Chain A
């Protein structure tokens, strides 16, 4: 426990500036989206009290918005023009959609809850509709409306963590990164910070709500109440300002002399993206990093012009993006992918970087040496006594377990489906006897694991390449040179080493890449 606290303390010391930045982004996104949601939601709520026929359809739509899982909503928004894309704008739209329901509903409830006697008196006094709304209905409904804003804010603080998946930043960046790297420091600092934000927001808005509830109301606003209100407004203003600033620096991706590099959300992709980024920066190009994007987002970002380059694997491009059935000849996959990317997508494939990240069938070094195993076929006779530990991904995908076991005629004593990252440790500690890992996993050498050769060429090739927009290439001479430079320069062993330095030794990606570039004299 003590060791953990010490570790967390040093972690915080090192990561304090970034954590602060992410927190600011988080507050900015939440404040901006709540502000927009109030500006849309309150008038909508008022409208619904005037036109009752709209009530059910509008609240129904807002209700459905809230039931869409947040990740799916982000995904749905990405391909849309104007409001879609990656980053801040998409996150803002999704957050606003989420926040609308409680705000609209509480506005309606608050206004309809105004005592009918009071409303009738207001009409009979000769107040106009606008006067009744501003002077009677809204002030009396304010407590309930603020409750709605409070609920929306707390929800938004939570949902904003998901916004990291579309590259909008915020504390979710630490949570996602922590999940990926099995780093509790990252995970906890992201999660605890966002939980604290939610609690603080809830507390402050709770105070505000109390001030507006009738029972506590007294002669005007006291100094304390005024300073509370001013404090909340200040936080919102600072947050909006901070996010506007980050947003401004995040736009204009395609300016001359500036290149936007994207990456997927795992260590190897981030490393490859960082390599090209540092090489460009060393040559005077301004690089905008849009790393750690989930799913197919980097590809979408290239298509929409929001990014210029990202690292990809030929097999993934061939099957997942071009929707072909897997084939095993690396040359054929590369050539056909390159041609179709040029013709159909106006994107360029760089020369292969020199390594593959494919499924690696791994056994313990001891067993390999004792039983003289070098190929997968060698292992077939052993399989009936063996337990296999396989990741969920491998169990389900087209080029995974069902085809694999059939191709080699493998029958295991037991097949355990488990988290991919845990399989390495399970193998090393004799809990299983064979796993399907990633060929560039850093721990393969450290744990003395041996990769068996795919002697029947079952697995499709997954050669690492960069995907680049063709107009970016024609615009930047330096980009062309740098891409050529790294062609065929990274071996599988090197990639394993780099991955291990980040995931195993917990070193900073930028540092790791800087050392590698120096050692390779690039």
Chain B
């Protein structure tokens, strides 16, 4: 870790998000800070509000009350376009553009930022190499010509293209088969440590959370019920956390047999 410690990159101050049609808020007065260089995991079951939390950061959504700040500035004060180009975003299956080649997909944000062609292509090749895809082989392909795991790597490469200081990942490895998932997770862990990005990652896979996270925020019904390091999480007597850890132990028992 080389970044200046403890510089706050993302901060939620009593942020609430609710839909006009629903009685209970999706995010309920959330307080959270993410520091520079940290990997924060948002862990929870479907519908607990973890994806919504993520979308509040790059202003795909704006809080109905309270505040969300990125680099000390309210997301609503940011120019939305500038804010988003400043943040890498990876979703399940990569959310790649089916009509773009891998080169255009990965080089999209540099292209939007007006990089020169040579510099952009060099960057695309560098990134493909970094996520373990042979540039010459993949650069001219279309997303549908790739396997799920390859698409996911391209999604990560695309998010990293303009070297954003902040990365948001929404169940990035959810659609992969277990073997591919394990290897991609490992590569990703190495990659993020090496690159020193501030990262918020959403998952419902406790193994992934423990493997990748510096801290784990366990969410339930729009609130953070536990915020711990992986070691602290495994020791916690929070019933939800214990349920997660127990399923993990059961899986390991099966693995051993």
List residues of chain A with CB within 8 A of the CB of B92: 117
Interface size on B, residues (CB 8 A): 27
Nearest Cβ distance between residue B153 and chain A, in whole angstroms? 15
The answer to whether B89 and A124 touch across the interface, beta carbons within 8 angstroms, is: yes
The answer to whether A126 and B81 touch across the interface, beta carbons within 8 angstroms, is: yes
Give chain A interface residues in 214-259, CB to chain B under 8 Å.
214, 217-219
The answer to whether A121 and B112 touch across the interface, beta carbons within 8 angstroms, is: no
With contacts A121-B89, A125-B108, A127-B112 taken as known, whether A214 is within 8 angstroms of B60 at the C-beta atoms is: no
Nearest Cβ distance between residue A428 and chain B, in whole angstroms? 70
8 CB < 8 A contacts A-B? A115-B98, A124-B84, A124-B95, A125-B158, A126-B84, A127-B81, A136-B97, A219-B140
Bound-state CA distance A214–B98 (Å) is 8
The answer to whether A217 and B142 touch across the interface, beta carbons within 8 angstroms, is: yes
List residues of chain A with CB within 8 A of the CB of B144: 214
Given A125-B84, A127-B108: 15 more A-B contacts, CB < 8 Å: A118-B96, A118-B97, A120-B60, A121-B94, A121-B95, A121-B97, A122-B97, A124-B87, A124-B89, A125-B112, A125-B158, A136-B97, A139-B99, A217-B99, A218-B142
Most B CB contacts (10 A, CB to CB) among A122, A124, A128, A136 go to A124
Give chain A interface residues in 122-136, CB to chain B under 8 Å.
122-128, 131, 136
The answer to whether A126 and B82 touch across the interface, beta carbons within 8 angstroms, is: yes
Residues of B near any A CB (own CB < 8 A): 58, 60, 81-87, 89, 91-99, 101, 108-109, 112, 140, 142, 144, 158
Nearest Cβ distance between residue B223 and chain A, in whole angstroms? 25
- With an 8 A cutoff between CB atoms, is A140 at the interface? yes
Interface size on A, residues (CB 8 A): 20
Bound-state CA distance A239–B156 (Å) is 50
List residues of chain B with CB within 8 A of the CB of A140: 98-99
Bound-state CA distance A120–B108 (Å) is 14
Bound-state CA distance A117–B82 (Å) is 21
The answer to whether B140 and A125 touch across the interface, beta carbons within 8 angstroms, is: no
The answer to whether B60 and A123 touch across the interface, beta carbons within 8 angstroms, is: yes
The answer to whether A125 and B93 touch across the interface, beta carbons within 8 angstroms, is: no
- B54: nearest chain-A partner, CB-CB: A124
- A219: nearest chain-B partner, CB-CB: B140
Bound-state CA distance A117–B90 (Å) is 11
The answer to whether B97 and A120 touch across the interface, beta carbons within 8 angstroms, is: no
Bound-state CA distance A268–B94 (Å) is 74
Bound-state CA distance A233–B96 (Å) is 32
The answer to whether B99 and A123 touch across the interface, beta carbons within 8 angstroms, is: no
Nearest Cβ distance between residue A62 and chain B, in whole angstroms? 28
List residues of chain A with CB within 8 A of the CB of B58: 124
- B158: nearest chain-A partner, CB-CB: A125
Most A CB contacts (10 A, CB to CB) among B83, B98, B142 go to B98
Count A-B pairs with CB separation below 8 Å: 60
- A212: nearest chain-B partner, CB-CB: B99
List residues of chain A with CB within 8 A of the CB of B84: 123-126
The answer to whether A125 and B109 touch across the interface, beta carbons within 8 angstroms, is: yes
The answer to whether A118 and B95 touch across the interface, beta carbons within 8 angstroms, is: yes
Bound-state CA distance A128–B85 (Å) is 11
Bound-state CA distance A127–B98 (Å) is 16
The answer to whether B60 and A126 touch across the interface, beta carbons within 8 angstroms, is: no
Nearest Cβ distance between residue B136 and chain A, in whole angstroms? 15
List residues of chain B with CB within 8 A of the CB of A125: 84-85, 89, 108-109, 112, 158
With contacts A125-B108, A126-B82 taken as known, whether A117 is within 8 angstroms of B97 at the C-beta atoms is: no
List residues of chain B with CB within 8 A of the CB of A118: 95-98
With contacts A117-B91, A120-B91, A131-B112 taken as known, whether A126 is within 8 angstroms of B99 at the C-beta atoms is: no
Bound-state CA distance A117–B95 (Å) is 6
The answer to whether B91 and A126 touch across the interface, beta carbons within 8 angstroms, is: no
Bound-state CA distance A115–B87 (Å) is 22
With contacts A217-B142, A219-B140 taken as known, whether A124 is within 8 angstroms of B60 at the C-beta atoms is: yes
The answer to whether B112 and A117 touch across the interface, beta carbons within 8 angstroms, is: no
List residues of chain B with CB within 8 A of the CB of A115: 98
Nearest Cβ distance between residue A6 and chain B, in whole angstroms? 55
Nearest Cβ distance between residue A132 and chain B, in whole angstroms? 11
Nearest Cβ distance between residue B85 and chain A, in whole angstroms? 3
Those 4 A-B pairs whose CB atoms lie nearest each other, nearest first: A121-B95, A126-B85, A126-B84, A124-B89
List residues of chain A with CB within 8 A of the CB of B81: 126-128
The answer to whether A117 and B93 touch across the interface, beta carbons within 8 angstroms, is: yes
Nearest Cβ distance between residue B110 and chain A, in whole angstroms? 11
- B164: nearest chain-A partner, CB-CB: A126
The answer to whether B95 and A120 touch across the interface, beta carbons within 8 angstroms, is: yes
Most B CB contacts (10 A, CB to CB) among A115, A117, A120, A126 go to A126
Nearest Cβ distance between residue B79 and chain A, in whole angstroms? 10
Bound-state CA distance A131–B81 (Å) is 11
Residue of A120, A126, A218, A219 near B109 (CB, 8 A) is A126
- B92: nearest chain-A partner, CB-CB: A117
List residues of chain B with CB within 8 A of the CB of A127: 81, 108, 112
Bound-state CA distance A217–B85 (Å) is 29
List residues of chain B with CB within 8 A of the CB of A139: 99
Bound-state CA distance A123–B84 (Å) is 8
Bound-state CA distance A118–B91 (Å) is 10
- A129: nearest chain-B partner, CB-CB: B81
Bound-state CA distance A123–B58 (Å) is 10
List residues of chain B with CB within 8 A of the CB of A124: 58, 60, 84, 87, 89, 91, 95
List residues of chain A with CB within 8 A of the CB of B87: 124
- A140: nearest chain-B partner, CB-CB: B99
List residues of chain A with CB within 8 A of the CB of B95: 117-118, 120-121, 124
List residues of chain B with CB within 8 A of the CB of A219: 101, 140
- B104: nearest chain-A partner, CB-CB: A135
